């Protein structure tokens, strides 16, 4: 999933926030960005892990 | 003290109350009145309840007494008071899910499935319990209702998000409570409050009639003050329900009858690697204490657990955000700001990340389930620390300063992620506060986990501290 190109969380959030179906108070931006940045950092752990094409998602799950 | 109050605050109260009510030794009404009196007297300081269903409790207790008087079976949990996390529908009340926004919902018409099942078993609902807003929480704090406090030390967290469920059982208000666990919300309060808890296998207990959080990961399950009570509650709760799309169509497998077998014949191992570091020494020492008592010397490695936690985090954020988008659009200012900003950030997660997390989930599930070819039960810490102080935002683990809220679930998230059944047994620590050990079994093997919990309890290794 990763290409070595660094993900720019701030640029992404500033581009994506206005696309939501509702207005976001500018005062909330720092906290939203901090949360998203943290999510992006955490996601690296599995995005960097190679999966075979045969690994299907488990949205309806039977353990 | 009355006989009813003695039973309520004594050891293994659910089983003993049910036996006494069934035997005509005490009335269900007297037990319900004792529970309501304890709540009236002590919950002002602990804040477990957001609603007390007094009239209903007395009516249900009266029905149990009437059944017995008429020669009918009053049920396996006859007269046992219980309460539910306020995300479970209670007929006549709005389902708050810890929020301010849901207070404007119409009252529920029907009870949630778990209430219907406990009612059929003769149990008596005494109220709805405090929780973290929309279950996105590990602390038990709530900006709208105030925190549910830890009965072991009311200046400390109960743990979340089923905080009130932990507080109410640990305080002795009820022998049994029901909570939900998406990433650890039954197991974290069990550990911090020093009680027993069970997150059953995904799909084992119906979620119908409960307010969702993360459809892929949500579970409901019980809390109790003994292994026997936990098994009795679980047996009443389990079973297929077509009203929950993920409910497994398989027969109920009662756990209580097998408890006395204890750990005999079970292959028990300790999780090393990820689960053997990252907590304070008392968290890992509790696991070693349990392992020694069980004669468990084997170690197993749950590979890639840190990636599992990460994937659970992203699935939680993405599905939770999707669920709450209409409320974020209409009433963003009425959320707890911390919850709101996590949900809005979750709404921005790229689809590729979410799908990759779900694909990783299948890969990881296959590897972890394979471990159970060689072992029956795996032990791991439940929380990295004992109960933090209310309002505490950071903690130091392995020399690193970490956020309390995000990290109380480091040991629980990689397990609920793939729906394994996990029980928590509480152990004492040198500092006086309890801490939990997770007892992890293969899918559908709740009975094995509960047998180990029972073994630890009867050996005096695990146990809930006195209610008062």
Residues of A in contact with B307 (CB under 8 A): 45-46, 49
Residues of B in contact with A44 (CB under 8 A): 310
Q: What value does the mean pLDDT of chain B take? A: 97
Rg of chain A over Cα atoms, rounded to whole angstroms, equals 16
Residue B126 domain flag: yes
- What does B326-370 look like in DSSP terms, one character per residue? HHHHHHGGGS-HHHHHHHHHHHT--HHHHHHHHHHHHHHHHHHHH
Mind listing the pLDDT tens digit for each residue in B160-184? 999 999 999 999 999 999 999 999 9
- Stretch (H or E) spanning B300: strand B298-300
Q: Which domain holds residue A6?
A: 1-18+25-49
Do A28 and B341 make contact, defined as CB atoms within 8 angstroms?
A: yes
Minimal C-alpha gap between B355 and chain A (Å) = 6
Decide if pLDDT at B198 tops 70.
yes
Do A22 and B332 make contact, defined as CB atoms within 8 angstroms?
A: yes
Residue A57 domain flag: no
The single residue listed with the structure tokens 């004792």 is B34
Is B161 an active-site residue? Answer: yes
Do B311 and A61 make contact, defined as CB atoms within 8 angstroms?
A: no
Tell me which of B12, B85, B162, B206 is the catalytic residue.
B85
Residue B271 pairs in a beta bridge with B300
Residue B291 domain flag: yes
Do B307 and A44 make contact, defined as CB atoms within 8 angstroms?
A: no
Residue B247 domain flag: yes
Confidence of residue B405 (pLDDT cuts 50, 70, 90): confident
Report the residue of B315, B359, B364 to disrupt the A interface, i.e. the one with the largest count of A CBs within 10 Å: B359
- Asked if B320 reaches chain A (Cβ–Cβ under 8 Å), the answer is no
Provide the pLDDT for residue A3.
57
Residue A54 domain flag: no
Provide the pLDDT for residue A60.
60
Prediction ipTM score: 0.92
Q: Which domain holds residue B33?
A: 3-308+350-458
How many angstroms separate the Cα of B89 from the Cα of each of B17, B163, B378, B443? 25, 17, 34, 27
Which residue is closest to B317 within chain A, CA to CA? Answer: A39
Decide if pLDDT at B371 tops 80.
yes
Surface of B (231-260) touching A: CB under 8 A = 245-246, 248
Q: How many domains would you assign to chain B?
A: 1
- Which DSSP state fits B275? G
- Asked if B332 reaches chain A (Cβ–Cβ under 8 Å), the answer is yes
Residue A12 domain flag: yes
First and final C-alpha spacing in chain A = 26
**Exposed/middle/buried for B460, CB within 10 Å: 0-12, 13-18, 19+?**
exposed
Do A12 and B337 make contact, defined as CB atoms within 8 angstroms?
A: no
Of A21, A38, A43, the CB nearest to B353: A43
Provide the pLDDT for residue A59.
67
Do B337 and A28 make contact, defined as CB atoms within 8 angstroms?
A: yes
Residue A44 domain flag: yes
Minimal C-alpha gap between B154 and chain A (Å) = 30
- Asked if B341 reaches chain A (Cβ–Cβ under 8 Å), the answer is yes
Residue B338 domain flag: no
Is B389 an active-site residue? Answer: no
Do B314 and A42 make contact, defined as CB atoms within 8 angstroms?
A: yes
Provide the pLDDT for residue A61.
54
Cα(B84)–Cα(B179) distance, rounded to whole angstroms? 6
Do B307 and A51 make contact, defined as CB atoms within 8 angstroms?
A: no
Mind listing the pLDDT tens digit for each residue in B261-312? 999 999 999 999 999 999 999 999 999 999 999 999 999 999 999 999 999 9
Is B185 an active-site residue? Answer: yes
Cα(B91)–Cα(B99) distance, rounded to whole angstroms? 18
Decide if pLDDT at B97 tops 80.
yes
Report the residue of A5, A10, A21, A43 to disrupt the B interface, i.e. the one with the largest count of B CBs within 10 Å: A43
Residue B343 domain flag: no
Do A61 and B361 make contact, defined as CB atoms within 8 angstroms?
A: yes
| CATH code, domain carrying B300 | 3.90.1300.10
Cα(B8)–Cα(B173) distance, rounded to whole angstroms? 8
Which residue is closest to A50 within chain B, CA to CA? Answer: B360
Q: What average pLDDT does range B321-333 have in this prediction?
A: 96
Residue A14 domain flag: yes
Tell me which of B158, B165, B185, B447 is the catalytic residue.
B185
Mind listing the pLDDT tens digit for each residue in B239-268? 999 999 999 999 999 999 999 999 999 999
Minimal C-alpha gap between B203 and chain A (Å) = 8
Mind listing the pLDDT tens digit for each residue in A40-62? 999 999 999 999 999 988 866 55
Provide the pLDDT for residue A2.
54
Surface of B (162-221) touching A: CB under 8 A = 201-203, 216
Tell me which of B27, B99, B158, B161 is the catalytic residue.
B161
Surface of B (351-370) touching A: CB under 8 A = 352-353, 355-363, 365, 369
Q: How many domains would you assign to chain A?
A: 1
């Amino acid at each position: 999933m990763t290409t070595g190109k660094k993900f720019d969380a701030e640029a992404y959030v500033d581009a994506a926030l206005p696309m939501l179906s509702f207005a976001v108070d500018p005062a909330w931006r720092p906290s939203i960005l901090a949360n998203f940045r943290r999510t992006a950092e955490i996601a690296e752990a599995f995005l960097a892990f190679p999966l075979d094409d045969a690994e299907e998602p488990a949205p309806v799950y039977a353990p | 003290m009355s006989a009813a109050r003695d039973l309520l605050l004594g050891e293994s109260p659910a089983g003993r109350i049910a036996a006494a009510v069934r035997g005509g030794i005490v009335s269900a009404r007297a037990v319900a009145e004792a529970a309501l009196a304890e709540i009236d007297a002590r919950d002002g300081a602990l804040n477990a309840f957001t609603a007390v269903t007094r009239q209903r409790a007395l009516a249900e207790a009266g029905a149990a007494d009437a059944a017995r008087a008429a020669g009918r079976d009053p049920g396996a949990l006859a007269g046992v008071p219980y309460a539910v996390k306020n995300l479970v529908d209670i007929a006549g009340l709005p389902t708050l899910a810890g929020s301010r926004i849901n207070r404007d919902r119409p009252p529920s018409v029907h009870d949630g499935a778990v209430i219907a099942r406990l009612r059929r078993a003769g149990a008596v609902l005494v109220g709805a319990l405090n929780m973290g807003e929309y279950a996105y929480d590990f602390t038990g704090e709530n900006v709208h209702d105030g925190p549910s406090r830890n009965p072991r030390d009311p200046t400390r967290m109960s743990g979340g998000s089923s905080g009130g469920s932990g507080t109410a059982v640990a305080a002795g208000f009820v022998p049994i409570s029901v909570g939900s666990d998406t990433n650890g919300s039954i197991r974290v309060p069990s550990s911090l409050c020093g009680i027993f808890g069970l997150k059953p296998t995904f799909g084992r207990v119906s979620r119908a009639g409960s307010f969702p959080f993360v459809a892929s990961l949500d579970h409901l399950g019980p809390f109790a003050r003994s292994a026997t009570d936990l098994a009795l509650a679980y047996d009443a709760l389990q079973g297929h329900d077509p009203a929950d799309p993920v409910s497994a169509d398989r027969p109920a497998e009662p756990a209580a009858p097998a408890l006395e077998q204890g750990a005999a014949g079970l292959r028990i191992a300790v999780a090393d690697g990820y689960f053997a570091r990252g907590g304070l020494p008392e968290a890992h020492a509790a696991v070693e204490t349990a392992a020694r008592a069980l004669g468990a010397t084997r170690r197993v490695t749950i590979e890639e657990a840190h990636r599992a936690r990460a994937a659970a985090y992203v699935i939680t954020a993405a599905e939770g955000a999707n669920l709450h988008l209409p409320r974020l659009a209409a009433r963003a200012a009425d959320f707890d700001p911390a919850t709101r900003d996590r949900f809005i950030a979750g709404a921005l997660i790229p689809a590729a990340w979410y799908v990759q997390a779900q694909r990783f989930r299948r890969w990881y599930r296959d590897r972890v389930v394979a471990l159970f070819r060689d072992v029956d039960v795996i032990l791991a810490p439940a929380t990295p620390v004992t109960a933090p102080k209310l309002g505490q935002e950071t903690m130091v683990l392995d020399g690193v300063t970490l956020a309390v809220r995000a990290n109380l679930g480091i040991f629980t998230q990689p397990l609920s992620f793939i729906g394994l059944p996990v029980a928590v047994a509480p152990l004492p620590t040198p500092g006086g506060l309890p801490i939990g050990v997770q007892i992890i079994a293969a899918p559908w093997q709740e009975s094995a986990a509960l047998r180990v919990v029972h073994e630890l309890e009867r050996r005096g290794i695990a146990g809930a501290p006195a209610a008062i």
